Amino acid sequence: MSLLPVKIPPMGESISSGVLAKWHVADGDVVKKDQPLFELETDKITSEGTAESAGRISLKVAAGAEVKIGQEVATIDPEANRQTPEVSPKTGIPADGAAVTPPRKEATAAVAVADPGPRSPSPAAKAAAPAAKPAAVGPGPGSATPATRVAAPVPRASGERQTRRKLTPLRQKIAQRLVAAQHEAAMLTTFNEADMSAVMALRAKYQDDFVKKNGVKLGFMSFFVRAVVHALREVPAVNATLDGDHVVENHYYDIGVAVSTERGLMVPVIRHCDTLGMAGIEQAIADAAKRAREGKITLADLEGGVFTITNGGIFGSMLSTPILNPPQSGILGLHAITERPVAVNGQVVIRPMMYLALSYDHRLVDGKEAVTFLVKVKQAIEEPARLLLSV
Residue 115: phi and psi, rounded to 5, are -75, 115
Instruction: Flag whether pLDDT at 129 surpasses 50.
Output: no
Q: How far apart are CA 113 and CA 268, in angstroms?
A: 65
Closest CA to 197 of 24, 351, 43: 351
H/E stretch holding 386 reads helix 385-389
The H-or-E segment that residue 376 falls in is helix 367-382
Domains and CATH numbers, the chain: 4-82 (2.40.50.100), 169-389 (3.30.559.10)
- Count, in order, helices (H) and strands (E) of the chain: 9, 18
pLDDT in tens, 48-102: 889 999 999 999 999 888 899 899 999 999 987 665 555 444 544 444 444 444 4
273 near 225, Cβ under 8 Å?
yes
- Cβ neighbours for 281, distance < 8 A, ≥ 6 positions apart: 221, 222, 225, 226, 270, 273
DSSP 8-state secondary structure symbol assigned to residue 158: G
Distance CA 327, CA 364 (A): 12
Given a cut of 60, whether residue 210 has pLDDT beyond it is: yes
In angstroms, the CA 28 to CA 50 distance is 16
Is the pLDDT at 248 greater than 70, yes or no? yes
pTM over 0.85: no
Please state, in angstroms and rounded to a whole number, the distance separating the CA atoms of residues 29 and 16: 29
* Digit-coded pLDDT (tens) for 323-376: 999 999 999 999 999 999 999 999 999 999 999 999 999 999 999 999 999 999
pLDDT of residue 323: 93
The span from the CA of 349 to the CA of 309, in Å, is 29
Alpha carbons 378 and 383: distance in angstroms, whole number: 8
Nearest-10 Cα torsion for 41, 260, 218, 370: -110
Calculate the CA dihedral of residues 19, 25, 27, 29 and round it to 10 degrees: -160
- Catalytic residues, by residue number, are 362, 366
Sign of the dihedral through C-alpha 28, 33, 36, 39: positive
Spatial contact of 267 and 258, defined as CB atoms under 8 Å apart? yes
